[in-house]
Amino acid sequence: MNTKYSLTQRCAACSAAVLVAVALALSAVRSSAAESTANVSTNIYGSGKQFQTTVERRSQGGLSAEDLHQASLLTSQFLTHVNQAMQELADMHTDAARTDIEKAQSLAKVVHSLLPTTVVTTTVKDAQGKEIYHDEQPVQDNQIPIFSGDVATEVVEPIIEAKHDDAALKGVKLAEAQIIHTAVLVDLNYAERKLKRAIELIAKPQEASAELALIQSDGVHFYAHQEDNPLVEVQQALRLAERMVREKKFEGAKANLVTAKLQLEAYHALVGADAGLAVNDLETSIQKLSGELQTPGAADQIRGMWDKVTGWFKRESGQAHQTTTNSVPRISSR
């Protein structure tokens, strides 16, 4: 089940408490090549009697779990600057707004530099093998998931408030309603274009603010997947368990691992056979680790479990995802 929500234009302080559990969805793409080596795939179309088309995809580098977390965190900060700039333009503080817009632009460049690039080469040849068309296009998955936790909540609340009249829509719930866990994705390319235009219009605060508002309305999207909800609970329980192990609060850590295992069972029931052996293996690993929490490296093992779970969230088209993992099951494809 997939529901998408676009957000409208007003930025204001929000008093409603919103819990946004962000699904940092990771890819199931596997590569036997080293990270520094290009991953190449080639597809050929057509019989060749008249024309034959070859499409080559050459991907360089990869995105680790830590760098995905970093990109998500920086994108959260990116939206913070957008929200602040809108408020400053409303107060006619154009110099301060310009500073926040420029900071947002700097962060966008950093995030782009973290993302792997794939060069798509399309070649068409005629029946004699003569090349009649050739094109190369670099592409990036630029839909960035916002980092989970307090940062995401603070960033998203003003945008939710801008959509207050429609907040009863499924997937966008305020404090007094049932909480629905959602993924929040930022279209970085679109947002950058709007930032550039806002800078050009900075002498006209209302028009510049309208450009920034488009980032909120058209550049930020909410997605809800019912089957992902137990995974959100698993992640939260694992995060708490890791922290408690590091603080030597082993009973609390064990209780959270029990919660994680129960939520994994709920997830397994929702997706059935699609979950594969990986979910069973993780349940077994959690059960085993519950009795070994005082052994060296237990906290790191829990962190590894957290990273593995993020690989099972549904992924939207064009969403930045981890590409350097070796053991993520393919739960769904798009």
Question: Which contiguous run of DSSP H or E holds residue 184?
Answer: strand 183-187
**Pair 245, 124 in one domain:** no
Single-letter code of the amino acid located at 195 = L
Whether residue 197 has pLDDT greater than 90: yes
**334/118: higher pLDDT:** 118
State how many domains the chain has. 2
In a domain, residue 301? The reply is yes
What is the predicted pLDDT for the residue at 223?
67
Q: Higher confidence at residue 22 or residue 139?
A: 139
Strand order in the sheet with 117-126: 39-45, 51-60, 117-126, 131-139
Residue 320 lies in a domain: no
Give the Cα separation of 27 and 30 in Å (integer). 8
Mean pLDDT over all residues of the chain?
75
Same domain, 148 and 51: yes
Same domain, 129 and 254: no
Q: Which of 225, 243, 275 is the last residue of a domain?
A: 225
User: Within this chain, do residues 235 and 186 fall inside the same structural domain, yes or no?
Assistant: no
**326 lies in some domain:** no
Asked if residue 174 and residue 95 are part of one domain, the reply reads yes
d(CA 80, CA 94): 17
Q: Are 121 and 166 in contact (CB under 8 A)?
A: no
Is residue 269 domain-shared with residue 166, that is, in the same domain?
no
Range of the domain at 290: 230-310
Last residue of a domain, one of 198, 225, 252: 225
Confidence of residue 263 (pLDDT cuts 50, 70, 90): confident
**126 & 255 share domain:** no
| 3-class SS letters over 189-228 | HHHHHHHHHHHHCCCCHHHHHHHHHHHHHHCEEEEECHHH
Report DSSP state, residue 148: P
Kindly list the distances between the CA atom of residue 8 and the CA atoms of 34, 220, 288, in Å, as whole numbers in the listed order: 43, 10, 48
Q: Is residue 329 part of a domain?
A: no
pTM for the whole structure = 0.59
The whole-angstrom separation of Cα 133 and Cα 141 is 26
pLDDT of 179 above 90: no
Residues 38 and 150 in one domain: yes
Residues 269 and 174 in one domain: no
Please name the helix (run of DSSP H) or strand (run of DSSP E) that holds residue 70, with its range, or none.
Answer: helix 65-90
Judge if 271 and 169 occupy the same domain: no
pLDDT of residue 216: 84
Residue 145 parent element (H or E)? strand 143-145
Task: Kindly state whether residues 142 and 120 are assigned to the same domain.
Answer: yes
Confidence of residue 158 (pLDDT cuts 50, 70, 90): low
Of 164, 196, 225, which residue sits at a domain end? 225
Q: Please provide the DSSP assignment of 226-295 as one string.
A: GGGHHHHHHHHHHHHHHHHHHTT-HHHHHHHHHHHHHHHHHHHHHHGGGGHHHHHHHHHHHHHHHT-TTS
Query: Is residue 315, in this structure, part of any structural domain at all?
Result: no
**Residue in the structure block whose two tokens are 């922290």:** 243
More confident residue, 287 or 154: 287
Of 276, 278, 242, 247, nearest to 257 by C-alpha is 242
What's the pLDDT score for residue 62? 79
Indicate whether 321 belongs to any domain: no
Lowest-confidence region among 60-64, 190-194, 210-214, 299-303: 60-64
Does 110 lie in the same domain as 207?
A: yes
**Residue 87 predicted with pLDDT over 50:** yes
Mean pLDDT over 41-65 rounds to 88
Contact, 333 vs 28, CB < 8 A?
yes
Residue range 183-194: average pLDDT? 88
Classify residue 28: in a domain, yes or no. yes
59, two tokens: 């991907």
Categorize the per-residue pLDDT at 204 as very low, low, confident or very high, splitting at 50, 70 and 90: very high
Instruction: For residues 170-194, give the mean pLDDT.
Output: 62
How does residue 28 score in pLDDT terms, banded at 50, 70 and 90? very low
327 in any annotated domain: no
205 pLDDT higher than 70: yes
Average the pLDDT over 26-51 and give the result. Answer: 64
Report pLDDT digits (tens) over 219-243: 887 766 666 667 777 877 888 899 8
Structure tokens at 71: 């990109």
